[in-house]
A and B are shown apart, each in its own frame.
Chain A
Amino acid sequence: MSEPALLARGVFKSFGGLKAVQDFSLELPVGALRGLIGPNGAGKTTVFNLLTGVYRPDAGEVRLAGAEISGLRPSRIAAMGMARTFQNIRLFGELSVLDNVKLACHVRSRQSLAGAILRSPFSRGEERAIEERAVQLLSLFGLADRAQEQGKNLPYGEQRRLEIARALATTPRVLLLDEPAAGMNPQEKIELRALIRRVREEFGVSILLIEHDMGLVMDICERITVLDHGQVIFVGTPDEVQSDKKVIEAYLGVAEEAPSA
């Protein structure tokens, strides 16, 4: 039995008096495509922030391919192989589309500062490799002709694709997507489903995504974790999730008792 790509066990996080996440556990096997859903304010992005090191868990453990990562800085966790996108897109707006992706290659760079300044043979080679890789990724995501545009000038849908391309440039094992379909029209969402599946196949990454679009989640996720008020209330297949009473209540509220005649 091999280690899961990502494992969280008993994670707690409070902000002052607010208990944001309580006893969160999740398992993402290698190569899996799973979902994290829940009503607004359930704590989904907080979970992502805990997994990626933006917040430090108050208790519990997080393991990336078996290695303990809770308490490490986000850049270290990224170097170890976890990448993410953001709910409110965080591109490097002034930088070109190409540079956005090239930047994400930096985590794998081995050249030294001196080498870069002196333009050593290795640093030249690495710069070429980075250029090649970045162009390749842009082509895969249909952004090749936008390479020199400033990130902030891209239409919304392309910005989201760029964020995913950028995350993949870090050669991650685990990819966390935070509401990748937000703001997309139905056609774009269909393309996104295919894109996410393709990403899993071609890059061999394990994917966990937060989404509100139930159609998308039920379609592509193998297993779904449901969060409400910071706690896991259900884990199961799409079919199971759709028929679970607790989940329905969390989203729609409890039905009022009809007054007896």
Chain B
Amino acid sequence: MAFDLTSRARELRPSAAPALARGLTPFALCVAFAVLMQLAVKPAVDAYTARLLLDIGTNIVLAVSLTMVNGFTGQFSMGHAGFLAVGGYVAATVMYYGSLRLWGNAEMAGGMLSSMPIKPQPGRSPFSPGDVLFLCSLVAGGLVSGVFGILVGLPSLRLRGDYLAIVTLGFGEIVRVTIQQTGPVIKDAATARATPWPELFTRVGGSLGFSGPPPYTSLFWAFLAATLTVLVAIRLKRSTFGRAFLSIREDEIASEAMGVNTVRYKVEAFVISAFFAGIAGGLYAHTLGVGLSPQAAGFQKSFDIIIMVVLGGLGSVSGAVIAAVVLTLLPEYLRELSNYRMIVFSLALILMMIFRPQGLLGVRELWDAALWRPIARRFGKGGAG
């Protein structure tokens, strides 16, 4: 029993500075990519295309976050939209009431990185404070949603497969119904300032929806979130934690026997997944033209995300990205057939389960050698013959 992993790890560790640089550079690249999308791509395309791209970004966050729990640990959650809604409403509350309290109105106060350019406002600092508030609101939405991830993850520990699916579906419904009970939105700044924060969270419009929040979501924010989510997901998957998650999916009993605390990791998966879904919710709530309503937590929305993840391959990050892109674009290109859209998708789902249940990429990534080996073999035989 002479082997000690930790001391060997210390021996093999690379020098600090270059390693840290290599570790952090991709994060910087994500930010750069997002800025590029906003400042270079957005002016070059029309509003319709820009909106499509924005939806793609949000859907990537949703699909990748769902595959982190459904795909990595095999816990089939059907209430993902519940996390979306929680994050969305929390972010919207922070943003809307924050704007009211700080600046007296809920107008756009963002810089070039948000939807619109800076509008000079009397008494406001020229450094887009709106952007800072928006970032805070997104993070707040993610964090609160993450807490809900614990609330859903814990009871789910004892449940398998079908039952887990139904309970998570129930969670989405409970969120929806609860939001419907909330009070009317406060419209004037004075009342908003006078009302304590806990109460403000209950004044989000109920069944009528919450359309007050200023539309901050832009290509920058959507693609910042999308690229960061993808980066975190991939790094997580390839790490020892990713193996732990995947082992739970494969065989929970063996995983536990090999020292993986399955309770902790199953809940963790829910929390991480819920966090990113919450961020997506914040993006969704502040998208121009979207009326945030309790329906955002409904199972129709959950099913939309599930379809993406199943078609892309449960557990594949690149698969989820591809599916999110395709399934956002496809309905647009098939406008004439829009009536038949869901019929086609549902048939595709059924046929997929019968003929290719692993979806497009299964649990593999686009760049996994193992994925291409059978294809390479077939071509090799053909070439040699």
Contacts and interface: CB of A to CB of B under 8 A. Distances in A.
Interface stretch (A18-26, A33-41, A105-113, A226-234): A105-113
Interface stretch (A70-78, A187-195, A238-246): A70-78
Interface stretch (B6-14, B30-38, B115-123, B132-140): B6-14
B128 interface: no
B115 to A, nearest CB: 30
Nearest to B369: A148
Nearest to A109: B240
Contact of B19 (A110, A117, A124, A204): A124
Interface string B1-24: 111111011111111100110111
A99 B246 CA distance: 10
A133 B5 contact: yes
Contacts of B232: 117
A9 interface: no
B179 to A, nearest CB: 31
A198 B149 CA distance: 47
A156 interface: no
Q: How many of chain B's residues touch chain A, expressed as a range?
A: 35 or more
A121 B13 CA distance: 6
A92 B254 contact: yes
Interface string A129-167: 110110000000000000010100000000000000011
**Max chain B CB contacts within 10 Å: which of A102, A108, A170?**
A108
Given A78-B258, A121-B13, A121-B15, A116 B363 contact: no
B240 A130 contact: yes
Given A96-B370, A133-B3, A119 B19 contact: yes
A125 interface: yes
Nearest to A52: B257
Q: How many of chain A's residues touch chain B, expressed as a range?
A: 35 or more
A121 B14 contact: yes
**Max chain B CB contacts within 10 Å: which of A121, A124, A203?**
A121
Interface in B252-278: 253-263, 268
B250 interface: yes
A73 B256 contact: yes
B241 interface: yes
Contact of A205 (B1, B9, B241, B263): B1
A132 B253 CA distance: 26
B3 A103 contact: no
B235 interface: yes
A28 interface: no
B236 interface: yes
Contacts of B22: 119
A91 B259 contact: no
A27 interface: no
B5 A109 contact: yes
Contacts of B16: 121
B314 to A, nearest CB: 11
Contacts of A117: 232, 235-236, 239
Nearest to A128: B12
A14 interface: no
A127 interface: yes
Given A92-B251, A93-B250, A96-B370, A103 B257 contact: no
Interface string A218-255: 00000000000000000000000000000000000000
A99 B24 CA distance: 26
A84 B9 contact: no
B287 interface: no
B240 A121 contact: no
B375 to A, nearest CB: 16
Contacts of A105: 5, 240
A90 interface: yes
B244 interface: yes
Nearest to B246: A95
A150 B358 CA distance: 15
A86 B257 CA distance: 10
Contacts of B243: 95, 99, 102-103, 106
Contact of B259 (A90, A132, A170, A205): A170
Nearest to B272: A113
B247 interface: yes
Contacts of A116: 235-236, 239-241
A167 B258 CA distance: 7
A170 B236 CA distance: 21
A125 B14 contact: yes
Given A78-B257, A170-B258, A123 B370 contact: no
Interface string A48-86: 000010100000000000000000011110110101101
Contacts of B19: 119-121, 124
A76 B260 CA distance: 8
B253 A110 contact: no
B250 A130 contact: no
Contacts of B254: 86, 90-92
Nearest to A74: B256
A83 B258 contact: yes
26 contacts: A73-B256, A73-B261, A75-B259, A78-B256, A78-B258, A94-B363, A95-B246, A96-B370, A103-B247, A103-B255, A105-B5, A106-B240, A106-B243, A106-B260, A108-B259, A110-B6, A111-B240, A113-B236, A116-B236, A119-B23, A122-B10, A124-B19, A124-B23, A125-B14, A132-B12, A173-B1
Q: Which 9 A-B pairs have the closest CB atoms?
A: A107-B259, A125-B13, A119-B23, A78-B259, A126-B9, A90-B254, A116-B239, A92-B250, A129-B8
